[in-house]
Structures are given as structure tokens and as C-alpha cells.
Structure 1
Amino acid sequence: MNKNIVLKAENINKYFRVPTLFHVLKDISFEIEKGEFVSIMGKSGCGKSTLLYILSTMDTDYNGALFLDGEDLSHKSADQLAFIRNQHIGFIFQFHYLLQEFTVLENVMLPAKKLGIKSLEEIEHDAIEKLRLLGIADQAKKLSMRISGGQKQRVAIARALINKPSIIMGDEPTGNLDSKNSEIVFSILKELSEEEKLSLLVVTHDIDFAKKTNRIIEMEDGRIIS
């Protein structure tokens, strides 16, 4: 497989079986290259969030093949997938899911502590670096409940970056932000793809956001239509 390909989906099919059989994803195939910023668009119910769950290895009940950095993930155990997910995939959601009673720094450190590869000193150093990259190192010691919505989303991005992932996946990462903070978050993501050669895959309803990404994957009724 081409070394530049970070994520590859091959003929992904997904069925919901309850309450009746429903073919929700139909022959989904595409690739994402290193440093590429890709958005997925489509009406509600077209299957884009279901697809993101499969691509992120959270849902393993599908037919087809999924490759991350050339490695076939289709037959891995739940424990293997959890390790791969934590090390190689960063997540940004519409809601930041920060632990309110933890400091900003502690929130960013969490995925690295869970991975357990680096010492606490190294993790703390890396977390401060990520916060600096996102322009909020001065907020490190604050409780996450004490910072603004836009800052919280930046903390969530820092947390997604802590394990140096191959790809970041986002589900409506600007859906909860005003236009100014949406712009800031978009600029940060764009910079990560260009400067750090990080691959990004983002589900969004925001056409202005999507138009500025490298490529739009458009979905309708469980298929990719463009």
C-alpha cells in the first residue's frame, strides 16, 4: 500500500438489524493521505456519523476492510483496537467532554497516561507543548470549568494531539461554537494539516467549513455520491 495513505476504507457495508433489517452503509471505499484535510457532508441520517464510528474502530460490526497506516484492522480484538485507537487516532467532538474538576493540563495528559508509554514528566512536557501550540499554555493550571467555550475546544484539540496520532477525526467540531471561535478552530486544524502533516477527517454540516478543506466526501442514503 502507498506509504502516503493513512486511512483506507474498502467496501464498507453496515446493517442495522433492529427493529427491521436496514442497509445503512453501502460499499463505502476511499483513502485519506498524510496531511490531507477531508470533510464528510450529507443530510442527517445519511450515515456519516455511523461511518465515523466504524473508521474510528469504535464499531466493529461491519463488512469490508479498514486499514490504518497500512495495517488491516478488520480482525483485531477489542483490546488491540483500544490500544490502536488511543495511540493512532485523535478525537474532537461537538462537545469537548472535558472533565470539569480536572485542570486543563490534566485533561490534556489523560490519553497519554492511559497509553502508559511515557513517563509522567514526559507526558506533562508534551501536554504543555500542545497547549503552547494552540495558544493556551497560560490556562494550563485552571480548572477546565473556568475557561471559555472556545478555549475548551482548543483544550480538546490539544488532548487529541497528545499521543501524536496518525489521524484526527472530528464530529461537528465547530458545531457548538460561534463564528469567531469556529474560524479559530478551523485555522488551527488547517495549520496542523499543513505544518505538522497531520491527516484530518471531519464530519460537518457547515458548508463554509467544508469548502475550505482539501476535499469533500458527500454522502446520501448510505453511499458516497462525490
Structure 2
Amino acid sequence: MAVVLKADHIDKYFKKPVAFHVLKDICFDIKRGEFASIMGKSGSGKSTLLYILSTMDTDYTGALYFNNELVTGQSHEKLSGIRNRHIGFVFQFHYLLSEFSVLENVMLPAKKLGEKSYQEIEYDAIEKLKMLHIDHLAKKRASQISGGEKQRVAIARALINNPSILMGDEPTGNLDSYNSENVFSIFKQLKEEQGLSLLVVTHDIDFAERTDRIIQLEDGRVVN
């Protein structure tokens, strides 16, 4: 099975206010079509790890590979390209632009990547909305839809560039149980039908136990 993401002996220190060893010798990989979750107590380093794995934090030692390509040490411009092309993000807060329509929000990352025409991007965005059963909301302003719908729009936006991996930082943290279940079902469907890899930081044990694997962090180390 192809490896999409590999963390190889990653260490991270915070320098201020005092030196603190936050991540210690992190080693694991995520295979194509694998749905993994990261769990750990508050302060165990979960979000810090996700920021490194998503290439947004480059101040660490060790090595990070995407699709067998070393990304550690690459220029910020190259890393930005890798993020746009290969990584979809879903956060606890949806970060939609409220004055834009649902469709415009979903199109944004593809317009930034700049590889397709406006018409192609619009078509792709509508297809993603259809897949998530929210195409009827396409013309609505983001400010006019419910919290659960906003998170679905955020997932559609994360998928617009057909990433290799979808990363989530507490993607169900602001949702009620009904909408949390919807998000889990969407993620499972993406894994099973599209072969997408998913890596999700969560404190929801019910969510995590239904993923393929739990990566447990304790005091900055992987303990399982």
C-alpha cells in the first residue's frame, strides 16, 4: 500500500518563554486510503504535530515525506504549492467568507492554485457540493446557512483540489451529535469510495474508535 505521509524522527522544541521539548521522536506513516485519528490530553502536542505534518510549521528536526518526496527543508513557495495541491484542511471553525456564496467559498483554493479555468473550477465545485448533498445551497451566502451545513461546505472546499490527504483539527468540535455523525459518515465515504487518506485530531473517543487507527500522544510521544 502506497504511503502518502511519513513522519521520520520528528522533534519539536518551543524556545520561549523557556525551552520545552514538545514533540519527541515522532515516527509513523499514513497509507493511501487510511483513516487515522490523533488523540491525547490537552497539551500533549496534537495540534503542534498537525501543523508540522501540514507543512505550516517548519521549525522542527527530523524528516517529513509526502508521496515519498522529502518536504523538510523546501522553500516556503514550494511548501505552499504542496499544501494547495496535496492537503485538504477541515478545522473546528469553518473559516468561510460570510459575504461570499457557498459556491464561491468552495472555489477559492482552486482559483488560488490556478491550474484550471473558471468554468472548470465552478463545475468541480458544484460536483463536490453534490457529493455532500448541499448543491441546493450553492448560491446562498455562507452567512445564511446552518452550522452543520457550513462544516459540509468547509469539507467541499478542502476537497476541491483533489488532495492526497484530508487533515482535520477537531472538525466535529463545534457540532452537535447529529452533525458530528454526518461529518464522520462523509469522511468514511471519502475513504471507501475515493481512497482518500484522512488524519484527524479529535478528543471525541467515539469518533476515534471508529477510525482505522488511533495515534495516541502522551507527553509529546506516540505511545501505541
> Shorter chain as normaliser: what TM range?
over 0.9
The alpha carbon displacement at 1:159 in A equals 0.2
Map residues 205-220 of structure 1 onto 2, 5 A cutoff: 205-220=203-218
User: Which of these residues, 145, 148, 153, is aligned with residue 147 of structure 1?
Assistant: 145
| Residue equivalent to 1:129 | 127
1:107 equivalenced with 2:105 (yes/no)? yes
| Residue equivalent to 2:59 | 61
Aligned residues: 224
Take 1:193 and 1:180, find their aligned partners in 2: how far apart are those partners?
A: 20
| Residue equivalent to 2:155 | 157
Take 1:48 and 1:12, find their aligned partners in 2: how far apart are those partners?
A: 13
TM-score (norm 1): 0.98
| Residue equivalent to 1:90 | 88
Farther off after superposition, 115-124 or 3-12: 3-12
| Residue equivalent to 1:20 | 18
The alpha carbon displacement at 1:75 in A equals 1.5
Secondary structure, counterpart of 2:21 in structure 1: strand
User: Which of these residues, 33, 45, 48, is aligned with residue 46 of structure 2?
Assistant: 48
User: Which of these residues, 58, 62, 71, is aligned with residue 69 of structure 2?
Assistant: 71
Take 1:66 and 1:184, find their aligned partners in 2: how far apart are those partners?
A: 32
Deviation >4 Å, runs of 4+: none
The alpha carbon displacement at 1:121 in A equals 0.4
Secondary structure, counterpart of 2:214 in structure 1: strand
| Residue equivalent to 2:8 | 10
- State the Cα RMSD in Å: 0.5
Amino acid aligned to 1:64: G
Secondary structure, counterpart of 2:42 in structure 1: coil
Map residues 28-43 of structure 1 onto 2, 5 A cutoff: 28-43=26-41
Amino acid aligned to 2:91: F
The alpha carbon displacement at 1:144 in A equals 0.5
Unaligned runs of 5+ in 1: none
Secondary structure, counterpart of 1:74 in structure 2: coil
1:175 equivalenced with 2:182 (yes/no)? no
The alpha carbon displacement at 1:135 in A equals 0.3
Take 1:189 and 1:205, find their aligned partners in 2: how far apart are those partners?
A: 17
TM-score (norm 2): 0.99
Take 1:80 and 1:123, find their aligned partners in 2: how far apart are those partners?
A: 22
Unaligned runs of 5+ in 2: none
Amino acid aligned to 1:103: S
Amino acid aligned to 1:127: A
Amino acid aligned to 2:136: D
Take 1:144 and 1:78, find their aligned partners in 2: how far apart are those partners?
A: 31
Amino acid aligned to 2:108: L
The alpha carbon displacement at 1:205 in A equals 0.2
Amino acid aligned to 1:55: L
Amino acid aligned to 1:107: N
| Residue equivalent to 1:190 | 188
Secondary structure, counterpart of 2:167 in structure 1: strand
Take 2:84 and 2:42, find their aligned partners in 1: how far apart are those partners?
A: 28
Take 1:44 and 1:199, find their aligned partners in 2: how far apart are those partners?
A: 25
Amino acid aligned to 2:116: K
